[in-house]
C-alpha cells in the first residue's frame, strides 16, 4: 500500500527499485543465465567459440538452433529453434540487481556483512568482465628461431588497408577500413557500403563481403578478370576463415575500377589516381604494434620420457626495448608481463603436415589490457571468499546456538513436568 504522504512518482521509483532489488528478479536472472550458458555450450558442438561468444554472450538476443548428429560425425540443424535473451542484457540487469539489492537496499548490520562483501566482489568481477570485453586487444605472434617481431596480429579481425605508395617499395601512409565496418556487410547478399576519406582521391565501395571465401578461376558469386569469389562454409575455428570482397574504386574523372580483395592474396590490388599516384589495397589481419621487439633465441619442447606427450614447452626470448635487452623465458602457466602487454606460450611448430625443413617456431598469445586488470579477479576471489566464509560461519554458529537453545528448552520442559507416580 502506498504512503499517502509520498508523492506518486516517489512511489513508482520505490516500486521500480524494489523490483530491481528483488530476490525474484535475481532468481529469474540466474536461471536465464544458466539456460543461456547451457545453450552456448551446446552451440560449441557446431559453432566456433568466437561466434558463440558474439552471438550468445555479447548480444542482446539469441536464436538457438538445435542440431543433431548425422552419420559421419557432423551436426546438422533439426529445424527446431528457441529464442533467448543474450548475455548483455542479462549481465547488465544482474549488475543492477546486485548493486541495488545487494549493496544499496540491503539491511546493513553485522549479520549481513558477509553478504554485502560477496555482492561487492561479484560487482567488481562483472565490472572487470565489462572492461576486459571492451578494452582488450588480443592476438598472436608467430616467431621462428632467431627471428624477431615487434607486432602481433588479431585472431579474427580483418581490415582493409589502403596504402599510398611512394615508390621503391616504400609506402607513406596506411589507412584502414576496420573489420567492425566490414563484417556487417556479410549479413545479406546485397549489402554494400561506400567508404571515403579526405585523404583519398577516390571512394571505395565494398560489396559481396564473405567472411570465409575462396577465389576460383572462372565465375564464382562475383567475378573480375576471370577470377570468381565464392563463399565457403565457416571453418571450424573462426581464426581459419579467409574473407574476401569485391571493391569498386571510383576515381575522380576516371572509370570505376573493380577488383577482388582476398585474405590470402599475395599481391595487393593497385589503383592509380588522377594525379598518377599509386595506391594499393589489401585485406589483412589486424596488426597491433608493440613498443618492444621480441626475438626468439630458442624454442624447447620437452616430452615426458619415452612418449611423445609434451611435458613442457618454452620459448627463450629476448625483449629488446630502447636499446636494452632482457632475456626472458615464457612457458605454460608462466607468461611474460611487460606493462599493459602480456605474452603467453600458446603454440609451437612445425606441426604434422607442415613442409619438411620448416624451422622451429613458437606461437605466443599477446594481450593488451588496462594496467592492473590482471589483479582484479584475484582481488575478487579473495573478497568473495572472505564474504562467503564470514556469512556461512555466522549462519553455522547461529544454527548451533538455536539447536543448543532448543535442547535446553526441552530439558527444562522435562524437568518442570511432575514425576510420574511410582507403580
Q: Least Å distance between CB 311 and other proteins? A: 6
In the complex with other proteins, the residue whose CB is nearer, 146 or 302, is 302
Min dist CB 146 to other proteins, Å, is 24
Measured N-to-C along each axis, helices 113-134 and 376-416 cross at an angle, to the nearest 10 degrees, of 160
What SS3 state is found at 128? Answer: helix
The cell numbers describing 153, all together, are 596480429
CB of 56 or CB of 120, closer to other proteins = 56
Q: Minimum Å distance from CB 87 to other proteins?
A: 9
Coil/strand/helix, residue 276? coil
- Least distance from other proteins to the Cβ atom of residue 5, Å: 29
Residue keyed to cell 567472411? 211
CB of 85 to other proteins, least distance (A): 14
CB atoms within 10 A of CB 165: 18
- C-beta closer to other proteins: residue 30 or 196: 30
Least spacing, CB of residue 53 vs other proteins, in Å: 6
Least distance in angstroms from the C-beta of 125 to other proteins: 7
Helix (H, G, I), strand (E, B) or coil at 284: strand
Burial class, 408, CB count within 10 angstroms (exposed 0-12 / middle 13-18 / buried 19+): exposed
Instruction: Kindly tell me which of 128 and 361 has the beta carbon lying closer to other proteins.
Output: 128
Question: What is the spatial distance between Cα 328 and Cα 292, in angstroms, rounded to a whole number?
Answer: 13
Closer residue to other proteins, CB minimum distance, 48 or 161 = 48
**33/37 Cα distance (integer angstroms):** 6
Task: Compare residues 214 and 300 and give the one whose CB is closer to other proteins.
Answer: 300
CB 63 within 8 A of CB 79: no
Q: Which is nearer to other proteins, 125 or 203 (CB)?
A: 125
Contact positions vs other proteins (CB under 8 A) = 22-24, 26-27, 30-31, 33-34, 37-38, 40-41, 44-45, 49, 52-53, 56-57, 69, 71-73, 125, 128-129, 132, 138, 302, 304-307, 309-313, 332-335, 342, 344, 346, 365-367, 374, 377-378, 380-381, 384-385, 388-389, 392, 395-396, 399-400
Q: Which is nearer to other proteins, 199 or 413 (CB)?
A: 413
CB nearer other proteins, residue 262 or residue 376: 376
* Pairwise CA distance, residues 128 & 373, whole Å: 7
Do the Cβ atoms of 136 and 342 come closer than 8 Å? no
What grid cell was written down for 302? Answer: 620437452
SS3 388: helix
Pairwise CA distance, residues 348 & 144, whole Å: 10
C-alpha to C-alpha distance for 391 and 102, rounded to whole angstroms:
14
Rounded to whole angstroms, the Cα distance separating 247 from 245 reads 6
DSSP class of residue 22 equals -
**What is the nearest approach in angstroms of other proteins to the Cβ of residue 207?**
33
Q: Which H or E element spans position 96?
A: helix 87-97
- Least distance (Å) between residue 237 CB and other proteins: 10
Amino acid at each position: 500500500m502506498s504512503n499517502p504522504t509520498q508523492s506518486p512518482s516517489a512511489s513508482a521509483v520505490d516500486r521500480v527499485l524494489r523490483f530491481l532489488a528483488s530476490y525474484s528478479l535475481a532468481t529469474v536472472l540466474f536461471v536465464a543465465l544458466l539456460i543461456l550458458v547451457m545453450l552456448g555450450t551446446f552451440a560449441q558442438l557446431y559453432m566456433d567459440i568466437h561466434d558463440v561468444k558474439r552471438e550468445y554472450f555479447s548480444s542482446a538476443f539469441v536464436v538457438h538452433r538445435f542440431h543433431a548428429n548425422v552419420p559421419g560425425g557432423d551436426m546438422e540443424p533439426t529445424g527446431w529453434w528457441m529464442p533467448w535473451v543474450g548475455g548483455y542484457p542479462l549481465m547488465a540487469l544482474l549488475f543492477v540487481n546486485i548493486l541495488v539489492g545487494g549493496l544499496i537496499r540491503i539491511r546493513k548490520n553485522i549479520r549481513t556483512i558477509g553478504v554485502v562483501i560477496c555482492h561487492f566482489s561479484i560487482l567488481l568481477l562483472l565490472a572487470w568482465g565489462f572492461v576486459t570485453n571492451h578494452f582488450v586487444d588480443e592476438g598472436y605472434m608467430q616467431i621462428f628461431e632467431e627471428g624477431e617481431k615487434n607486432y602481433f596480429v588479431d585472431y579474427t579481425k580483418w581490415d582493409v588497408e589502403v596504402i599510398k605508395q611512394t615508390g621503391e617499395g616504400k609506402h607513406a601512409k596506411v589507412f584502414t577500413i576496420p573489420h567492425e565496418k566490414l563484417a556487417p556487410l556479410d549479413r545479406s547478399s546485397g549489402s554494400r557500403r561506400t567508404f571515403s576519406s579526405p585523404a583519398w582521391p577516390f571512394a571505395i565501395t565494398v560489396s559481396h563481403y564473405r567472411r570465409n571465401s575462396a577465389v576460383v578461376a572462372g565465375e564464382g558469386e562475383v567475378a573480375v578478370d576471370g577470377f570468381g569469389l565464392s563463399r565457403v562454409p565457416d571453418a571450424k575455428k573462426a581464426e581459419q576463415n579467409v574473407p574476401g570482397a569485391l571493391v569498386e574504386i571510383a576515381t575522380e574523372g576516371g572509370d570505376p575500377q573493380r577488383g577482388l580483395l582476398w585474405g590470402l592474396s599475395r599481391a595487393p590490388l593497385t589503383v592509380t589516381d588522377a594525379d598518377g599516384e599509386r595506391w594499393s589495397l589489401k585485406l589483412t589481419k589486424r596488426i597491433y604494434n608493440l613498443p618492444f621487439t621480441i626475438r626468439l633465441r630458442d624454442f624447447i619442447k620437452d616430452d615426458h620420457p619415452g612418449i611423445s606427450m609434451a611435458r613442457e614447452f618454452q620459448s627463450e626470448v629476448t625483449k629488446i626495448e630502447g636499446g636494452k635487452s632482457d632475456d626472458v623465458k615464457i612457458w605454460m602457466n608462466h607468461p611474460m608481463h611487460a606493462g599493459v602487454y602480456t605474452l603467453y606460450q600458446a603454440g609451437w611448430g612445425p606441426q604434422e603436415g607442415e613442409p619438411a625443413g620448416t624451422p622451429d617456431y613458437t606461437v605466443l598469445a599477446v594481450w593488451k589490457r588496462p594496467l592492473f586488470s590482471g589483479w582484479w579477479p584475484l582481488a575478487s576471489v579473495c573478497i568473495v571468499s572472505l564474504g562467503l566464509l564470514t556469512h556461512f560461519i555466522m549462519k553455522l554458529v547461529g544454527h548451533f546456538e538455536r539447536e543448543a537453545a532448543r535442547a535446553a528448552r526441552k530439558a527444562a520442559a522435562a524437568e518442570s513436568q511432575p514425576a510420574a507416580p511410582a507403580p
